[in-house]
Structure 1
């Protein structure tokens, strides 16, 4: 016969349950204590400040030198003023550097150079070309004797600028023309650059008796008749003692005035027709 009487809870289970719950709580606490601390949030570095732009540096000024055309134009104004009996206008070239290129050999080699200041000669036996540039001595020129030269000037040398009506550096163009009935003489030099040597200056700077010379081999495909070269003179327009860059003088009102620049030359060179330096001398 079944027993329908209600039973009391198992006393043993009642005793164990609190212990189990306590142990579970202790385990949870231990897990929480042993869990590593969460990593701190990554520190966000501020973006680096843009480097300041370097200050703008101005490009060095381009060194320019007066050319043959500049010297001719300035001297024309001085010659015109001299012929008119007026004071020469101030020259913008005083104290400026110049690079004067004088083409030579335009008519071929010069077996007998005569008064030529720059020329070349051929030696067919050795197939060599001899380049020569010889400054003229102008100490006794009327223009030099009457000009306000620098103090203690003992000697004056220089180079004429051939064909001062031609402003380009190259040789003039040759033209075939019928000979006139009465040929006229070639025009005398009328424009040059003068170097004034003081009594105390080194005589090694004087080149009147020591021309600039250089020998090169004749190109294999050339007979030496169609060559041309350039005499390069570099320096500064120093001016006369009255601070004039150029002075002029004339024999009469019907003669073209002769004008000279007072200069200092610090480099002389020979170049070929393409501008390649063949030889040079610092002075």
Structure 2
């Protein structure tokens, strides 16, 4: 027993000696005066520049067909429900617009045709002839048969065919729709128009008195490319109808009739475009002499 205790004590002493020696050796060989590495701040990558988003406002927006349809729909709903003119409709006066009306979608018109908007190609003369006549109304015709018409007052404009679609192109199918007329008929009939009102005491600048927009373009048959018809492009501003606001709607056949609406405008420019080629055939500055500029 005495020998075992001595052996155990000797083993412990030897282990302590070896451990102490290792500690001293490691301390002596470890690097001295080494400055700690401190990571500097990482520079953040510059954020990509973003274009400012400018929301459409009355000052910078150009209304298109869909916007005009929306104004008419809001006013029609107000009239049908007996409410006052919505503020969005009232605030539309003065806003710029550009409207495209497709025509000639079913091909060239016959030589004896009297359609208001038509075209035909003369193979003998190698000439494309386009004819677009504005509709002429009286105030009582377009607004209210029971309303008071001003002496000498005239109204000119265009019906917007198929006012249930925002598409400015010819319809995909070429069926036999009702012919384009110059008078609104009810159940069914034309229900949306743009019109410029010429006061009897005001300026008549831009009034056509029914005179059509006509142009003749010389071109070869292979350059015609009229598969998509043509477009009447009208640019100007939304204008207040005298005593009505920018949009006026009525239901002459009663509450079950879809309202017939007219949007007041001031036309600045009228043009005829070929949507197939993207070319403009003729342009009229309505605010000046009204002569075609090609």
Normalising by the smaller structure, the TM-score range is: 0.5 to 0.7
Aligned to 2:69: 72
What CA distance in whole angstroms lies between the structure 2 residues aligned with 1:263 and 1:144? 18
SS in structure 1 at match of 2:62: coil
Give the CA deviation at 1:239. 1.1
Q: 1:235 to 1:223 in 2, by over 3 A?
A: closer
Choose 1 or 2 for highest CA Rg: 1
State the match for 1:278 in structure 2: 281
CA contact under 8 A between 1:162 and 1:189: conserved in structure 2? yes
Give, in whole Å, the separation in 2 of the partners of 1:207 and 1:231: 16
The alignment's TM-score, normalised by the length of structure 2, stands at 0.64
Shift of 1:146: 5.4
Contact 1:117 1:159 in 2 (8 A): no
Contact in 1 for aligned 2:123/2:221 (Cα 8 Å)? no
The CA distance in 2 between the partners of 1:215 and 1:202, in whole Å, is: 30
Measured in 1, the distance between the counterparts of 2:193 and 2:142 equals 14
Write the distance in 2 (CA, Å) between the matches of 1:120 and 1:175.
Answer: 16
- C-alpha distance in 2, partners of 1:269/1:142? 24
Query: What is the distance in 2 between the residues matched to 1:266 and 1:246?
Result: 19
CA distance in structure 2 between the partners assigned to 1:83 and 1:210 by the alignment: 35
TM-align CA RMSD: 3.2
Structure 2: give runs of 5+ residues left out of the alignment.
1-51, 177-185, 287-294
Hey, what does 1:240 align to over in structure 2? 241
Is the contact made by 1:122 and 1:224 (CA closer than 8 Å) also made in structure 2?
Answer: no
Q: CA deviation at 1:275?
A: 3.2
When residues 233 and 175 of structure 1 are mapped into structure 2, their CA distance, relative to the original with a 3 A threshold, is closer
In structure 2, the partner of 1:94 is 93
Residue 266 of structure 1: aligned partner: 268
Farther-moved stretch of structure 1 (266-275 vs 86-95): 86-95
Aligned to 1:40: none
SS at 1:205 equivalent = coil
Unpaired segments ≥5 residues, structure 1: 1-57, 178-184
Mapped to 1, the partners of 2:258 and 2:71 lie a distance apart of 15
Give the CA deviation at 1:276: 2.1
**Does 1:214 pair with 2:215?**
yes
| 1:1-56: CA deviation from partner (whole Å, max 9, x where unpaired) | xxxxxxxxxxxxxxxxxxxxxxxxxxxxxxxxxxxxxxxxxxxxxxxxxxxxxxxx
Aligned residues: 217
What are the within-5 Å matches in structure 2 for residues 106-145 of structure 1? 106-111=105-110, 112-114=112-114, 116-139=115-138, 140-141=140-141, 143-144=143-144
Map Cα deviations across residues 34-86 of structure 1 (whole Å, 9 max, x no partner).
xxxxxxxxxxxxxxxxxxxxxxxx9x999431000100111011112212222
The 2-side partners of 1:147 and 1:132 are apart by: 33
**8 Å Cα contact 2:195-2:263 kept in structure 1:** yes
Q: Secondary structure at the match of 2:76?
A: helix
User: 8 Å contact 1:193–1:260 — kept in the other structure?
Assistant: yes
Structure 1 residues 208-255: Cα deviation after superposition (integer angstroms, max 9, x where no partner): 331000111344326776351110111111112346210001122222
The equivalent of 2:256 in structure 1 is: 254
1:148 positional shift: 8.7
Q: CA deviation at 1:107?
A: 0.9
Measured in 2, the distance between the counterparts of 1:63 and 1:280 equals 24
Q: Distance in 1 between matches of 2:244 and 2:143?
A: 16
Correspondence for 1:32: none
